[in-house]
Amino acid sequence: MTAAPDFVPPRSAPHALSTLGVVLVAAGRGERLGAGRPKAFVELGGRTLIEHCLATVSALAGGGHLVVVVPAALAPDTLDIVAAVSHSGSAWDVSVTPGGRERHESVRFGIDALPGHVDVVLVHDAARPLAPAALFERVAAEVRRTGDAVIPALPVADTLKRVGPDGVVHETVDRSPLVAVQTPQGFPRLGLAAAHDRLGSGENSPGGLGSGGLNPGGRGTASSGPTDDAEVVQRAGGTVRTVAGDMFAHKLTTPGDLALLEALLSAQSGDTIDLTS
């Protein structure tokens, strides 16, 4: 599917989100899930994760442009999904683009596929299919208010221990300054694109940004590269702020997460959940 013409905000109801772009990263292999297919194409409640995300983004007021980044071989299937769930009169244009070898490449391809008028970009992982529309809007509003990168975050509730390779606990870690980070993560478009360009060029920066990108599985380490787009921007000198996250933005990584997401989906739909079974 080719990119749609530049979006023109409706004259009757202009909205700050009219220049919003969303990059939906759905190119991961999902090896830890063990589903035999990329996890963005796994079904949750009878719909693929991509379909859940499409429905949420399409509900955002004001419209914008959504780019779905998928493995090249699955681009035709994704186009079929988009065609099946899209409806006339939507304020959102949707396009599909192939991903790269690594996550940061996929994000960069998604940014490049956005129309030129987009000035705020939300990067969202399809592996968080139940992230609510309110979370997208909260992140986008804070980007516009501050001009900085913004990420949703939740306080860490569990006690944290630092453990050695032998399994012996060395210390209890103070959790008070720690948060668990989610997506969508929001950025001024120019700053995000420049930070990814810097990463792609291998330019040296604090923390060893020039030492390499994310590994093929998309999971970075302290030595191999950033693990999310906020870190890409921060290593390039940008400021990253937080807003309140949402429990429904849980990430699908393992089979156990799929069961939890099914329960959250039932709760989101207002169904009764039996957590004792």
Q: What is the pTM of this model?
A: 0.84
Residue 273 in any domain: the answer is no
Report pLDDT for 200: 76
Judge contact between 127 and 253, C-beta under 8 A.
yes
Report pLDDT for 97: 96
**Element holding 111 (H helix, E strand):** helix 103-112
Residue 73 in any domain: the answer is yes
Residue 51 in any domain: the answer is yes
Residue 253: give the domain boundaries.
Answer: 16-268
Cα 129 from Cα 131, distance rounded (Å): 6
Query: Structural domain tally of the chain?
Result: 1
Report pLDDT for 206: 41
Pick the closest to residue 53 from 62, 40, 63, 65 (CA basis).
40
Per-residue pLDDT 10s for the chain (277 aa) are 444 444 344 444 444 446 999 999 998 776 666 667 788 999 999 999 999 999 999 999 889 999 999 999 999 999 999 999 887 778 899 999 999 988 999 999 999 999 999 999 999 999 999 999 999 999 999 999 999 999 999 999 999 999 999 999 999 999 999 999 999 999 999 999 999 999 877 763 443 333 333 333 334 444 467 889 999 999 999 999 999 999 999 999 888 999 999 999 998 877 554 544 4
Residue 99 in any domain: the answer is yes
Token pair in block for residue 101 = 């070898």
Report pLDDT for 37: 79
Residue 109 in any domain: the answer is yes
CATH number at residue 76: 3.90.550.10
Residue 112 in any domain: the answer is yes
